[in-house]
Amino acid sequence: DKFLKLDAAAHEALQIFQVDKHPSHMGIGRAKEGFSVFGIMNKCVTPMGRRLLRNWFLRPILDLENLNNRLNVVSLYSSIISRNYNLNLLLSKLIAFNRIKISFFLSSEELMVSLCETLKSMKDVPHLLKSVCSLLHVNKIFEVGISENLREHMECLNVDIVAKASSCLTAELAYVYELVIGVIDVNRRKEKGYETLVKEGFCDELDELRQIYEELPEFLEEVSLLELKQLPHLCKEKFSPCIVISMCQRYLMCFFEEQPDEITQSKIQDLEFSFSDADGETKRFFYRTPKTRELDSLLGDIYHKVLDMERAIIRDLVLRVLTFSTQLHKAVNFVSELDWHVLQEMTVDTFIPNDTKILDEGRIHIITGPNYSGKSIYIKQVALIVFLSHIGSFVPADAATVGLTDRQATSRSLCLLDEFGKGTLTEDGIGLLGGTIKHFANLDVPPKVLVCTHLTELFNESCLPKSEKINFYTMSVLRPDENSINVEDIIFLYRLVPGHAALSYGLHCALLAGVPDEVINRATLILDAIENNKNVERLCNEKISAKDQQYKVLLSRLKKKNCS
């Protein structure tokens, strides 16, 4: 009872949503929103705003108080705030909360696993910092950037956005910000050759490990020189070895180009071959020695020790931030409502507006007119305005009074019938459409019904009896010369007027559809002959006519000749 229900067929017919598949050959890839009402209105810069707007489109509401509140807030944002403050720049930075999945439905253990997964690369921590900082700036806008005129305007609209901002963007956000920047140093990231986020001086043990890792290349070079002095026969080799760190974070002695022969290997105590590889044109042979084993025991894997310690500190930081998850959720929900834009007049200059008035009498509107005259566009326009009014949006009209609508076949329902009965035998189609309209007309208070049809036979009283509940309209057409047979003189005005469609203007529709001119000209002559009860002249072709003339001459000669 709180929502206006629309099925997938209604969404497709009104183009509220339209999914365009990925243009790759195999159709592999993420689909995108096509040309639709949602695609036009979706100007959100945050994932939270897009999700909220899509949810509103999927679930139009029937709560009048909530709808009026949305309209008042939209009026405030569109007329004043969006012109004076660049909220989009701040809102565009609120991306971390889309990645850090803070959920009230997860246990503490599940929540920790989820956060560890989303933050395992540590790329989201700077985003979290930017997001909290942006929330604080938004709060400042509503605290000190609201003028007296704006406050008076908000009072008239019964919108207390300042109080709502204060309740959602609380002082705890500032504490979270200080908490994060007290641990994280974003500018230090990757400066030292590895991902480092924790500030220097925050943890003495971590700083010591970092210093050892940063000085490791020079230290290994010194150790290599000392090792070579203790093994003088290696200095005579063509390529002197050195001690390096392998990919598996082990210390190894590396020989270049040539593998040591057996004599050289016998002179080095406890020399153990590990592996070999080729770096471009350079061959390398790696061995373990007593010195490398000593380094493994003394230093170990410094790189991963640093990373593990940093991740432990980040995990502890995340757990502390999680204690403010309720405040973060309230702040995100608040800015999500800031991040959706109303649909204003997004039409071309030549669009012809049409008024719509459906009162207690004449609730069934039957609209006739030729193809391309704007019948379907008109009823879709009415349906979209009703839909937009139920999500709390502005509508493309100078003024609008829209009643709450349902989908339960009551007097509050809106029923659209576009070419109903088409696609079967003409008699069957007339019967189906006439029976449907008669059913609505027999109700005490029928729903609001808009019918588009080409079936002019429907106006016969045997098909559709007269009723005060039925009004007839047509799309006006300008034909300067009523006696002209030139279809190019016909102009569609796309204006809804009371009355019936006298003609179908099928030839003009064929011209708009790109049918060749010679076909249309021939059809015009035939139609004119039929309407004036004249014989349809045979189609004349110059080549055929020349042969016909020869046959006629020959036939006349044969008739004159006496065969007896």
Helix (H, G, I), strand (E, B) or coil at 415: strand
288-311 residue pLDDT tens: 777 878 787 777 777 778 888 888
Pick from 101-110, 337-346, 380-389: least confident? 101-110
The better pLDDT of the pair 2, 322 is held by: 2
Q: What is the pLDDT of residue 509?
A: 73
The band of 25, judged by pLDDT with boundaries at 50, 70 and 90, is: low
Domain boundaries, the chain: 364-515
408-445 residue pLDDT tens: 889 999 999 998 877 788 788 888 999 999 999 999 99
Nearest-CA neighbor of 456 among 474, 443, 438, 483? Answer: 474
Mean pLDDT of 258-279: 72
**Mapped to the 3 state alphabet, what secondary structure does 262-288 carry?**
HHHHHHCCCCEEEEEEEECCEEEEEEE
Distance, in Å, from the CA atom of 317 to the CA atom of 320, rounded to the nearest integer, reads 5
The pLDDT of residue 387 is above 70: yes
Nearest-CA neighbor of 523 among 507, 540, 502? Answer: 507
Does domain 364-515 fall into CATH 3.60.15.10? no
The pLDDT of residue 112 is above 50: no
504-540 residue pLDDT tens: 677 777 777 778 877 888 887 887 777 777 887 776 6
Listed in sequence order, the DSSP H helices in 87-192 are: 87-91, 96-99, 108-118, 124-144, 148-157, 161-168, 171-181
Distance, in Å, from the CA atom of 480 to the CA atom of 489, rounded to the nearest integer, reads 7
The better pLDDT of the pair 335, 13 is held by: 13
Listed in sequence order, the DSSP H helices in 390-516 are: 426-441, 506-512
Nearest-CA neighbor of 245 among 192, 182, 288? Answer: 288
Mean pLDDT comparison of 19-28, 227-236, 332-341, 528-537, highest-scoring range: 528-537
Q: What is the pLDDT of residue 231?
A: 67
The pLDDT of residue 224 is above 50: yes
What is the pTM assigned to this prediction?
0.59
The pLDDT of residue 475 is above 50: yes
Mean pLDDT comparison of 106-110, 274-278, 334-338, 469-473, highest-scoring range: 469-473
Cα angle: 174, vertex 177, 181; to 5 degrees = 145
Pick from 192-196, 314-318, 364-368, 509-513: least confident? 192-196
Q: What is the pLDDT of residue 419?
A: 86
Mean pLDDT of 367-378: 85
